[in-house]
Amino acid sequence: MLASISMADFKPAESAKARILSLKPAPADLPLDDANSEWIEIRVELDSDLANWRVAHLRALWRAETAKPIEWEWIYTFGSPHFAKAGEIYRVHSGSVIRAATHPVADDLTPGRKHVYVAGPVRAGRLLWTKGDYARLVDAFGTVIDEVVAWPEERPAATEAPRAGARPS
């Protein structure tokens, strides 16, 4: 006699609905007023309902006394229902929709992306991503669909300008 095997109530198509396309963390010295220049992009792969899908921010705490030490928060939740078309790209900014309306980032004016914002008021914007943080795309049932690590580009060190009157050697 065969034993029955319990299966998770998870459709393989769920994992193919959307993916994290890219993550653009801000440099460490960026002023808070420019938080909209930090974002994560989600690309919809199949025409589908992304109701209650969420984007999570995870930060490793590296505490020896705690097993799996992380700090996490939901930073964006797609509404319910949320019907999306294949090919749509959602850019989730760390800043404010009000700041975007008054001081748009140049790339925001490029067509083809839907812009959403983590913060409402201008001062509620904050920089989220630091080196080594994780971004997760999670479906409505809590299944991790995609995950990326934030790794901001390091700005080159400023080179010293030649002094007045100095000749190049």
Query: Over the stretch 77-127, which tens digit does the pLDDT of each residue have?
Result: 999 899 999 999 999 988 888 777 777 777 776 777 888 888 877 677 788
Higher pLDDT, 157 or 166: 157
CA dist list (Å): 98 to 2, 117, 122:
61, 9, 6
pTM for the full model?
0.74
Q: What is the mean pLDDT of residues 26-37?
A: 80
Structure tokens at 57: 């921010």
* Cα 57 to Cα 111: distance, rounded to the nearest angstrom: 27
DSSP-derived letter for residue 99 is: H
Looking at the predicted structure, is the pLDDT value of residue 169 above 50?
Answer: no
Q: What is the β-pairing status of strands 144-149 and 134-138?
A: antiparallel
Note the pLDDT of residue 115: 86
Closest C-alpha to 47, from 78, 83, 80: 83
DSSP-derived letter for residue 67 is: S
Note the pLDDT of residue 60: 75
> Domains plus CATH for the chain?
16-149 (2.60.40.1260)
Note the pLDDT of residue 43: 96
